[in-house]
Amino acid sequence: MKYVFYCSLFIMAWLRPISAQVIGTSFEDIPCHSGLYFDPLDPETPHPLPNQTEQPILNWPPTSDQLGFNAYYTPYDQASIGLSDGDSVGVTNRNSIVGAFSDGDQGYEISDCDGNFTLEFTPIDLQEFSQASLSIDVWIATTGYEGNGVNNTAQSDRLHIYVQDLDQTQQRDLLNTTGYDINDLDIEGRWLRRSVDISDFNQAQLVVTARNNTAAEAFYLDRIQVEGTLASNSLNQTNPVIFPNPAKNSFTLLGHDQANTLLTLYDVFGHNVWTSDSKSLTHDVSMLHSGLYFLSLVKDQNTRTQKLIIE
């Protein structure tokens, strides 16, 4: 009787919707190089911006608990020098303009691109979530910006930050100065927290695209956070129980027929990171990094998915 009582308490606690940080980045724990970034490729053609030895990092791979990002360059309609002349871009701890980063000691800087700089973050799989939001901190350096950002020219600075759903082909703005002189928007010289609801998105990707052309024109990014609440059907009472959850090196799965069940763990990017058809109740996951995962159980073409946190 006691056992049933405690089990009921456990399941009730476990059935509560869980709202928590899904993933993010604050650009901490990434190597930081001072100095300028020099793009070695032709500024007249669009291209990915490759990391250069001992220069600020522009691209970084994702981990199970941190978003990755990749940088791209697109020239003006009349191509200029782009980032070939040496510019302050990428992961930085230079805080002379922002005073302090909004989270930790590092952020991401985009300055003097002489063209268009696009930063794409790792797409996140949100299909298991009923609610989700994405937030970012932005600092726009105080200086004179030109134009209204409509034309793809040097005299038309702009900053556009949005989340796109790669699955449903839609996008939602966090900040878009297109159509305005940045100086008229009262957004310079302080950290701005921008958030957007993406509960209806399946595959969410954060994109930052910037156009500026002097060293004084600088945009900074920090404290990117995706938060979410798991969909209630992922917490179905008939599902097996994962214990402990959060897990450290292993987890035990109770209340399911372990014979002929295929277990797969997916990370928040939708990547398959672990598979097992073991009949054991306890599974070793010590090789996985800490983070949020989805445990998928497939048996007789029926699939159940549950959340697993590894610490």
Exposed, middle or buried: residue 254 (CB in 10 Å: 0-12, 13-18, 19+)? exposed
**Contact of 59 with 49, CB cutoff 8 Å:** yes
Query: Residue 270 interacts with Ca ion (CB under 5 A)?
Result: no
Exposed, middle or buried: residue 172 (CB in 10 Å: 0-12, 13-18, 19+)? middle
Q: To the nearest whole angstrom, how small is the minimum distance from the Cβ of residue 227 to Ca ion?
A: 17
Q: To the nearest whole angstrom, how small is the minimum distance from the Cβ of residue 132 to Ca ion?
A: 22
Query: Residue 157 interacts with Ca ion (CB under 5 A)?
Result: yes
Instruction: State which of residues 39, 65, 109, 114 lies at the interface with Ca ion (CB under 5 A).
Output: 114
Q: Which is nearer to Ca ion, 27 or 76 (CB)?
A: 27
Q: To the nearest whole angstrom, how small is the minimum distance from the Cβ of residue 222 to Ca ion?
A: 4
Instruction: State which of residues 121, 145, 251, 293 lies at the interface with Ca ion (CB under 5 A).
Output: 145
d(CA 137, CA 166): 23
Instruction: State which of residues 177, 213, 305, 306 lies at the interface with Ca ion (CB under 5 A).
Output: 213
Query: Residue 183 interacts with Ca ion (CB under 5 A)?
Result: yes
Q: Which stretch binds Ca ion (CB under 5 A): 30-38, 150-158, 224-232, 287-295?
A: 150-158
Q: To the nearest whole angstrom, how small is the minimum distance from the Cβ of residue 288 to Ca ion?
A: 25
Q: Which stretch binds Ca ion (CB under 5 A): 26-34, 70-78, 170-178, 198-206?
A: 26-34
Instruction: State which of residues 112, 120, 125, 128 lies at the interface with Ca ion (CB under 5 A).
Output: 112
Q: Which stretch binds Ca ion (CB under 5 A): 6-14, 215-223, 242-250, 281-289?
A: 215-223
Q: To the nearest whole angstrom, how small is the minimum distance from the Cβ of residue 190 to Ca ion?
A: 16
Q: Which residues contact 158 (CB under 8 A, 6 or more apart)?
A: 147, 148, 149, 177, 178, 182, 210, 211
**Contact of 217 with 143, CB cutoff 8 Å:** yes
d(CA 247, CA 51): 35
Q: To the nearest whole angstrom, how small is the minimum distance from the Cβ of residue 254 to Ca ion?
A: 40
Instruction: State which of residues 14, 72, 146, 269 lies at the interface with Ca ion (CB under 5 A).
Output: 146
Give the binding-site size for Ca ion (rule: CB under 5 A). Answer: 18
DSSP letters, 154-185, are TT--EEEEEEEETTTTEEEEEEE-TTS-GGGS
Instruction: State which of residues 58, 222, 240, 307 lies at the interface with Ca ion (CB under 5 A).
Output: 222
Query: Residue 26 interacts with Ca ion (CB under 5 A)?
Result: yes
**Contact of 234 with 307, CB cutoff 8 Å:** yes
Q: Which is nearer to Ca ion, 158 or 283 (CB)?
A: 158
DSSP letters, 255-270, are SS--TTPEEEEEETT-
Name which of residues 50 to 109 contact Ca ion (CB under 5 A): 85, 87, 101, 103-104, 106-107
Q: What DSSP state is assigned to residue 80? A: -
Q: Which is nearer to Ca ion, 86 or 270 (CB)?
A: 86
Q: To the nearest whole angstrom, how small is the minimum distance from the Cβ of residue 49 to Ca ion?
A: 12
**Contact of 153 with 123, CB cutoff 8 Å:** no
- Count the alpha carbons within 13 Å of 31 in the hemisphere toward its beta carbon: 12
Closest-CA residue to 59 (of 31, 99, 21): 31
Element (H, E) at 283: strand 282-284
Q: Point out which residues bind Ca ion (CB under 5 A).
A: 26-27, 85, 87, 101, 103-104, 106-107, 112, 114, 145-146, 157, 181, 183, 213, 222
